[in-house]
Amino acid sequence: MERLIFILPVILFAGLAAFLGFGLTQDPKSLPSQLIDRPLPAFVLPGIAAQDGGGAGFASASFRGEPRLLNIWASWCAACPQEHPVLERIAAEGFPVYGIAWKDKPADSRMWLARYGNPYAGVAADEAGRTAIDLGVTGVPETFIVDKRGRVRFKQIGPISPEVWEGQIRPLMQQLRAEA
Amino acid sequence: MLAEIGHFALILALLVAAAQAILPMIGAARGDAALMAFGRSAAGLQAILIILSFGCLMILFGQSDFSVALVANHSALSQPLPYRLAATWGNHEGSMLLWVLVLSIYGTGIAHFGDNLRATLQARVLSVQAMISVAFLSFALFTSNPFARLIPAPLDGTELNPLLQDPGIVFHPPLLYLGYVGFSVTFSFAVAALMEGRADPAWARWMRPWVLAAWVPLTCGIALGSFWAYYELGWGGWWFWDPVENASFMPWLLGTALLHSAIVTEKRGSLAGWTILLSILAFSLSLIGTFLVRSGILTSVHAFAVDPERGVYILAMIICSTGTALALFAARAPMLRSGAMFGSVSRESGLTLNNLLLMALTAVVFLGTFYPVIMEAVSPTNKISVGPPYYNLVFAPLVIPLLILVTVGPVLAWKRDDLRRVGGKLWVPAVLVLVLLAGLTAQMGTAKAASALGLAVGAWLILGAVLVLARRWRGANGFSWRLVRTTPAATIGLVLAHAGLGVTAAGISAMGAFSAEKILVMRPGETVQAGPLSVTMIGVGEVDGANYRALRAQFTVTQYGSPATLFSERRLYTVSGNQTTEAGINPRLLGNQYIAIGDTQADARGPGLVVRIYWHPLVGWIWFGGLMMAMGGTASLADRRFRIGAPQVRVPLALSPLAPAIVPAE
C-alpha cells in the first residue's frame, strides 16, 4: 500500500505524457467557429457607394431562401487578390457571393473592386468592425456558408483555394441547395 | 568559416558529453577513481567547446553574416549592435544553444565547486548532467542547427521581431535559462541520490546552493519578463496567465518548495523522499516549459518556433528523463528511511505545510495550463482557453494561507513547539495587522475586502520579516552590535525574501483595488481627468529611430499638484512592417503614471489620437519585491555553511545503504 504512493507520480506522468502526445497531433491554429449550425448574427450594413451613408448594403435577414457565401475581405488584405479569381469563378458558376468589406474605407473598397473586378452579388461596409466581432472574424479573408434558413454551416479561414472550392465548398453548396 | 568552426565544436561537445555520460557512471559503480575524475575534466572540456560554439554564433550575428540562415532570418543591417548580438538567443536555434551553454556552465560548476562532495555522488551527478546534455546537443544538431548556411546569401536580413528589440529581452531569456537549466543540477542530484540509495543531510546541504543558484535567476527572469510585458505590450498588464508564463511560474513554485524542503532534509534528515520528488518535478516542469514554447501545442505569444517535429523530440526527451527518474523514484524512494520524527506543531510541520500549499498552487496552475489540451483530447471540437478568472478564483484562497504561514514559520522551533508559545511571539504583529485590515476594509468598502486582505497580508509579511531580524539582534541579554555583526547570511536571506514577498503581495493588491484607467480620443491641447491624474496632450509629431519611424505624443500629467512630462510612441519598424507601442511611464514610489497611444481615430469632435491613460498604484512594488526575493536568495547563497565542508553523516541519522554492489566502499 505504501509503495503505491511512490508509484503514483510515474503513473500520473504517464497519463500526462499521453495527453501531450495527443496534443501534438492537433493543429493549434484550427479554431472551429462557434456559429456552426447557429443563425447568422443579426446585422444591417450600409453599402460602399460614393454617397452619404454608402447606399444600399444588405442585412442578415436577407440570407433566406437560398444558400449563399458570405465573404469577409478588405482592400488592404494581402491574401484577398489571391482568392479573388476563385470568387469570380464561384460567381460564374452561379453561386451567390456576398462581400463585407471589413475595416475598410468605402472609397478604397470601390477602387479595389474597380481594379480586380466585382464578383459580389452585394457588398456591404463594416467600417467599425462591429459585425465582424459578432461573426467571430479572426482575419481576412474568411468565408461563411449560410444555408436556406439563414444558419451558418461552414466557415473557411483564409483564402478559398480552387481545391477547397472543388473538394469541400461546392459539394456543400450543392447539398444545401438540395435541402428543403 | 566561423560557422563551420562553431558547428564542429558543437559536434565535438556532443561526443565529449556522450563519454561523460557513460564513463563516470561506470567509475562510480566500480569505485574507479580515474574514471570518476574523467567526469570533471570532460565537464570542463564540454563547456569550453560550447562556449566556443556560442561565441562563433555571436560573432556571426555581430558581423551580420547573412550566409548563415539563422542570422539572415533574425537580424538586419539597420538593427543596432546590441540587438544584433541579443538576436543570438532571440530565436529558437540560438536559444537552444544558449540552453546547452548554460547547462555546460553548471556542469563545470559541479566539477569545480564539488571538492567537498562524495566522489561517487559527484561522478554520478556529472554523468546525469551529461545525459541531459547529450539529449539537448543532439536536439540542437539534428533538428535545429543554428549554423545552417543560406546560399546564396541575401544582402540584408529580416529583422528580429521588434517586440524583442528591447533591453529587457537582452537579459530575460538568459536569466530564465539559468533558472530552468539550474534545476537540471538538482535533478541530477536527485537521480544520483536514488542510484546511491542515500539522501542524507550532507546530500541536502550539497544540493541546496544549486537550488538557490537556479531559483535566484529564475526569480529575476520572471520579474523581468513581467516588467517587460508591462511596458512593452502597451496595455499595462503585468501578468497574463499565458501558458508560457505559467511554464516559468510552475518551476518557480516548485523550486520555492524545494528550497524549503531541502532545509528540513539538511537540518533534520527528514522529508528526503519528498525533496527528491520535488527536484525531479522542478526540472521536469522546466522541460515541459520548453516543450510548450517549442511544440506549438498551446498557442501563445511566446511560440516563436512552432514545429511538431521538434515537439515530438522534446516530448520523447521529457518521457525519457522524467519517466526514468520517476520510475527510479518508485523503485528506490521507499528504501530511503526518513530521519527524525517531528511534532504536529514544529518548524518541520510548518515547512511541510508550506510545501503542500506550494504543491497545490502548482497543481492549480498546471491544471489551468493543460486543461485546454486535456479537454481537446476528451472532446475534439471543444476548443477552450483558461483565463484570469479561473486563476483569480482558485489561486487566491490557496495563496493567502500560505502567505500567513510565511510569518509563522520562522518563529516555530524545530522538532516540537506549542501554539501558546507561538501565539506569545506573534500576538503583537497579529493585532497590528488585524487593526490595519479593519481600517482598510472600513476605508475601501467590503467590495474590495479581498484587496484589503492582500494589503494586510503584505504588511504581515514585512512585519514578520522585521521581527525575525529584531529577535535575532535582541538576543537573550538585550540588543548588541555583536549579534548584528554575526547575523548569518542565511537569516538576512530569509528576511529579505519574506519581506520581498510581502512587498509583491502589497503591490498586487493595490493594483487590484486602486488602479484607474481611461481610454479616449484626444487632440493636442485637451485635458482629461483619469482617476487621480489630470492629463493634457501637448502635441504629436513624427520622429525617426535607428530602424523605425514613430509617432510620438507629448503629455503633461499632473497629480497632487506636481506636473510631469511623458512621451508615448507608436513605432513602425520599416524592415518587417511590425508596429510596437512604447508607453510613456512615469514611475514613482506610490505608483506609475502610464500613457499609451493607439491609432488615429475620429470621434464626434473630429479626428484625434486614441489614448489610454492608466494610474497603476504600487505596481513597481511587484517587481521590486521580486528583486528583494532574488537578493534574499543571493544572500542565502553567500552563507558560510555552504562553503565549509559538509558534515559527513553522523551515522544512523539517515539511511541504511543499499546493497554494497551499488554503493562501493568509500
Could you read off the pLDDT of B586-633 as tens digits, one per residue?
A: 888 888 888 988 888 777 777 888 888 999 999 899 999 999 999 999
**pLDDT tens-digit profile of B448-458?**
888 889 999 99
**ipTM associated with this complex:** 0.77
| For range B422-431, the mean pLDDT | 87
In chain A, how long is the greatest CA-to-CA distance?
Answer: 81
The tens digit of pLDDT for each residue in B41-55 reads 999 999 999 999 999
* pLDDT at res. B34: 92
> Are A32 and B326 inside 8 Å of each other by CB?
no
Rounded to a whole number of angstroms, the distance from the CA of B655 to the nearest CA of chain A is 17
Say what the pLDDT of residue B293 is: 65
Q: CB-CB: which of B306, B312, B373 is closest to A19?
A: B373
Going by the DSSP 8-state scheme, the letter that residue B642 receives in this structure is G
Residue B304: what pLDDT?
A: 40
Residues of B in contact with A6 (CB under 8 A): 273, 329-330, 333-334
**Tell me: the pLDDT tens digits for A14-48?**
988 888 777 776 655 566 677 888 888 999 999 88
CA angle (B368, B374, B378) in 5-degree steps: 140
Strands A142-146 and A152-157, sheet pairing: antiparallel
CB atoms within 10 A of CB B292: 26
Give pLDDT tens digits for B329-388.
999 888 876 667 788 888 889 999 999 999 999 999 999 888 887 777 777 666 677 888
Mutant choice from A3, A5, A10 vs B, greatest count of B C-beta within 10 A: A10
Chain B residues bordering chain A (beta-carbon distance below 8 Å): 273, 277, 280-281, 284, 288, 291, 295-299, 306, 308, 311-312, 315, 318-319, 322-323, 326-327, 329-330, 333-334, 370, 373-374, 376-377, 380-381, 383
Q: Is A15 an 8 Å CB contact of chain B?
A: no
Are B377 and A2 a contacting pair at CB < 8 A? Answer: no
Q: Is the separation of the CB atoms in B535 and B556 below 8 Å?
A: yes
Q: Which of B187, B254, B283, B297 to mutate to test the interface with A (most CBs of A within 10 A)?
A: B297
Q: What residues 32-71 of chain A have any CB closer than 8 A to a CB of chain B?
A: 32
Nearest CB to B374 within list A7, A19, A31: A19
Sheet strand arrangement including B606-617: B516-522, B606-617, B591-603, B584-588
Least CB–CB distance from B377: residue in A3, A6, A22 = A22
Reported as type and span, the H/E element at residue B549 is strand B548-559
pLDDT value of position B656: 41
Q: Which residues pair with A73 in a beta bridge?
A: A101
- Interface with B, mutate which of A2, A3, A13 (most B CBs under 10 A): A13
Give the pLDDT confidence score for residue B250 in this predicted structure. 93
Q: Give the range with max mean pLDDT: A95-99, B345-349, B376-380, B424-428.
A: A95-99
Residue A169 near residue A175, CB atoms below 8 Å: no
Query: If we measure between CA atoms, which residue out of A17, A124, A119 comes closest to residue B288?
Result: A17
pLDDT value at position B665? 35
CB–CB contact A19 B308 (8 Å):
no
Residues B274-332 pLDDT 10s: 999 999 999 999 888 776 766 555 554 444 445 667 777 888 888 999 999 999 999 98
CA B41 to chain centre: 30
Select the more confidently predicted residue: B265 or B641.
B265
Are B373 and A23 an interchain contact pair (Cβ–Cβ within 8 Å)?
yes
* CB neighbours of residue B98 within 10 Å: 22
Question: Which pLDDT belongs to residue B44?
Answer: 95
Q: Which residues contact B576 (CB under 8 A, 6 or more apart)?
A: B158, B159, B161, B162
- Say which DSSP state B158 is in: P
pLDDT given for residue B82 in this prediction: 87
User: Any idea what DSSP says for residue B476?
Assistant: T
